[in-house]
Structure 1
Amino acid sequence: MKSVLTLAVLVVAISRGFCDIPNVYEFCNALMSGERTSCDRATCQGRPGKRGAEGPRGLRGPKGEIGPIGSTEEFEVKIRQLSDAIKVISSTMLSTKIFNLCAMGMKSRAIPDSAISVSSEWIPEYHGRHGRLDETTNASYGVWHSRSNNGEWFQVDFGVPKSVSGVITQGRPTCCNQWVKTYKVLIGNSTDQLQPITENVRDKIFTGNTRDGKEKVTNIFPAPVTGRYIRIYPQTWNRHAVMRLEFIRGECFHLY
């Protein structure tokens, strides 16, 4: 039997001339059927073998042309531009970290809706709970909007006396060019004992927003103040008294 198999292999190999040696499947096929195929590489080539070793690397390509030689002044300009870009990026990252550390909870909602009260609202969608920094218009009109402009106020109850060193304000986020231009801040441990923040023995008037609803204006108090309740009284405004706010922790006084 072994000699028969050997003979069959020789017959198939000879009949295929210089074609590849048949694999087991092709050999058995030929042996059982007696079929002979022409020496066509497409029909008699076996399965591909393993990939060979990687050949030698080709020659190195030609060197590129030398670019124009810059001047010392141009180099210095590029250095300044790079330095300015690094400063902007560093400042932005630092500002974000400081804000996340120092914000008291209006934007993050650590201050709950129940802690916010206002003198009035235009309609419920303009309630004080929407007067949070960066509030959007998904579930409301995204801002506190008072009913009138006479003696209106925005108040937060921190629950316990806390140190506060400043306020960040924004105007209305979408239409109408509405924002508060100046305001007063009062603070105390009860709503009937609120005291204004003063400077040079006078109630301090803080400068608020000046141009649009996206602008954020930070005002730092002359010194940190402590109280459970803080109240904002708009003094002047553009078209109507509307606000979005955040309060800054007293511990962050020296970071701004």
Structure 2
Amino acid sequence: MGLNVEIKCKIMLLYSTLCIIVFSRKSHSSSTSLRLKDMGITTVIFTISFFVATSANQNEEILCKARPGCQLAKCDPGLPSSRLNTNEYPITCVQDKELKAENEALKKKLQSWLTEWEEMKPIFSELKTKTTAGLQSLMRTFELCYMGMKSGVIPDSAIFASTYYDSWHAQYRARLDNRVSEKSTGSWSSKTNTIGEWIGVDFGSVRNVAGVITQGRPTYNQWVSKYKIACGTYPNHLHFVTESDSEMIFTGNSDSDTKVYNRFPAVLSCRYIRLYPQEWNVQMSLRFELVHGHCLYIKPL
């Protein structure tokens, strides 16, 4: 088996160095001109070997590049038989752990989207044959009008409230159809029962909203029976929904579990939307869902 180019050069460098040392120690009986001649030849060999070795090393660094998908790579000369050519060697890729984890997460998300698409295929195949009433029934069945409180598309970090009683009653517990669990009472409850308390969502960008669905607190006689809605592009400049120049008061729930839908007079375009309780039973407690703007004329229940 042949030797690595860089190793050969290093051997030549070592040999040349030894020659210089030996020649410098020759007896004084040798003629000065002869010693200078020998040392000159050796120096030439040394210089050529140095530049060849440096060039070989640079070639390896240039040719030994990371493959697509790798953040880190290192040269792995291995066996001479595994060379790609004279100065290029196989590459050992070392992927960053975080990148690997991110790729796995993206794969799972893609698989989730593919699964959802497969579930939606029957819906789209039926759309051509459905009447208006049939389409409305279809949208209700698959909750296509819901904006993401129930499904979790709206994340916990996008749900806000003026106050909450404790972590068991936090604002992100206010998802439609949420139930009691070991760490949750199944709804949002305010810290105080005073006008001015609110719960709302930051969509992250302007969205169209047609209405809101509310429920009370599961297993407890607590619910919001009247409320106002405010929305806008900036949290400090929200406007209440009005009708005939007056702030609308929507009729909410009268029990713990029944869903009540209130459609707005017109589609709202807003990034921030808030629900302000005006009347309640025992405690301000509720669960809710927001309805897509394209469902203005569809009852999503």
Shorter chain as denominator, the TM-score bin is: 0.5 to 0.7
Per-residue deviation, 1:206: 0.2
1:169 alignment partner, one of 185, 192, 214: 214
> Counterpart of 2:260 in structure 1: which amino acid?
V
Per-residue deviation, 1:95: 6.2
Q: Does 1:134 align with 2:174?
A: no
* 8 Å contact from structure 2 (residues 139, 145) kept in 1: no
Q: Does 1:209 align with 2:249?
A: no
Matches within 5 A, 1:1-20: none
Tell me, what secondary structure is at the counterpart of 1:111? Answer: coil
Q: Distance in 2 between matches of 1:217 and 1:181?
A: 10
* 8 Å contact from structure 2 (residues 171, 188) kept in 1: yes
Matches within 5 A, 1:29-178: 94=138, 96-97=140-141, 100-138=143-181, 139-150=183-194, 151-175=196-220, 177-178=221-222
- Size of the aligned set, in residue pairs, is 164
- Find the counterpart in structure 1 of residue 229 from structure 2: 185
Q: Name the larger-Rg structure.
A: 1
Per-residue deviation, 1:115: 0.1
* 8 Å contact from structure 2 (residues 159, 202) kept in 1: yes
- Find the counterpart in structure 2 of residue 233 from structure 1: 276
Q: Distance in 2 between matches of 1:199 and 1:95?
A: 28
Q: Distance in 1 between matches of 2:296 and 2:200?
A: 21
Unmatched 5+ residue regions in structure 1?
Answer: 1-89
Unmatched 5+ residue regions in structure 2?
Answer: 1-133
Q: Distance in 1 between matches of 2:224 and 2:275?
A: 11
> Counterpart of 2:266 in structure 1: which amino acid?
A
Q: Distance in 2 between matches of 1:95 and 1:216?
A: 16
What's the TM-score once normalised by structure 2's chain length?
A: 0.53
Tell me, what secondary structure is at the counterpart of 1:245? Answer: strand
Q: Distance in 2 between matches of 1:92 and 1:102?
A: 10
Q: Does 1:255 align with 2:279?
A: no
Per-residue deviation, 1:240: 1.0
Query: Aligned in 2, Cα 1:92/1:158: closer, same or farther, shift over 3 Å?
Result: closer
Query: Aligned in 2, Cα 1:190/1:220: closer, same or farther, shift over 3 Å?
Result: same
Tell me, what secondary structure is at the counterpart of 1:227? Answer: strand
Per-residue deviation, 1:96: 3.0
* 8 Å contact from structure 2 (residues 136, 298) kept in 1: no
Query: Aligned in 2, Cα 1:205/1:126: closer, same or farther, shift over 3 Å?
Result: same
Q: Distance in 2 between matches of 1:102 and 1:145?
A: 26
Q: Distance in 1 between matches of 2:135 and 2:214?
A: 20
Q: Distance in 1 between matches of 2:136 and 2:291?
A: 18
Percent identical residues? 46
* 8 Å contact from structure 2 (residues 226, 250) kept in 1: yes
Deviations for 1:156-203, whole angstroms, at most 9, x for unmatched residues? 00010000010000001012x110000000000010110000001100
Q: Distance in 2 between matches of 1:96 and 1:155?
A: 23
Tell me, what secondary structure is at the counterpart of 1:243? Answer: strand
Deviations for 1:128-161, whole angstroms, at most 9, x for unmatched residues? 0000100011230000000111111001000100
Deviations for 1:206-232, whole angstroms, at most 9, x for unmatched residues? 00001x211100000001010000011
> Counterpart of 2:160 in structure 1: which amino acid?
S
> Counterpart of 1:192 in structure 2: which amino acid?
N
Deviations for 1:98-141, whole angstroms, at most 9, x for unmatched residues? x6111000000000000011111111110000001000112300
